[in-house]
């Protein structure tokens, strides 16, 4: 599965207070852009050629 959002973004919470925010590192990873493009092409193929409902994957 290729996630629709960057899965690495996190908030570290201690006793109900946010201590630190770890930003998504996907934007600086060149492989991430290729995976997002592949996901888009796959969903487009399913929707256009196979007439599948792709809304659960969005």
pLDDT tens per residue across span 1-58: 667 777 777 889 999 999 998 877 777 777 888 888 898 999 999 999 999 999 988 7
Structure tokens that stand for 10 in this block: 């996190």
Looking at the 3D structure of the chain, how many domains does it have?
1
Q: Which domain holds residue 34?
A: 10-57
Please, are residues 18 and 11 in contact by the beta-carbon 8 Å criterion?
yes
With respect to residue 48, please indicate whether it lies within any of the assigned structural domains: yes
pLDDT at res. 1: 67
With respect to residue 3, please indicate whether it lies within any of the assigned structural domains: no
Question: SS3 for 45?
Answer: helix
pTM: 0.60
| Listed residue (47, 43, 30) closest to 4, CA to CA | 43
| Listed residue (49, 45, 50, 5) closest to 27, CA to CA | 5
With respect to residue 21, please indicate whether it lies within any of the assigned structural domains: yes
With respect to residue 5, please indicate whether it lies within any of the assigned structural domains: no
Q: Cα separation of 14 and 2, whole Å?
A: 30
């Amino acid at each position: 599965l290729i996630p629709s959002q960057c899965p690495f973004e996190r908030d570290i919470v201690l006793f109900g207070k946010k201590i630190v925010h770890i930003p998504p590192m996907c934007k600086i990873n060149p492989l991430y852009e290729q995976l997002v493009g592949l996901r888009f092409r796959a969903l487009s193929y399913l929707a256009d050629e196979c007439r599948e409902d792709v809304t659960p994957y969005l």
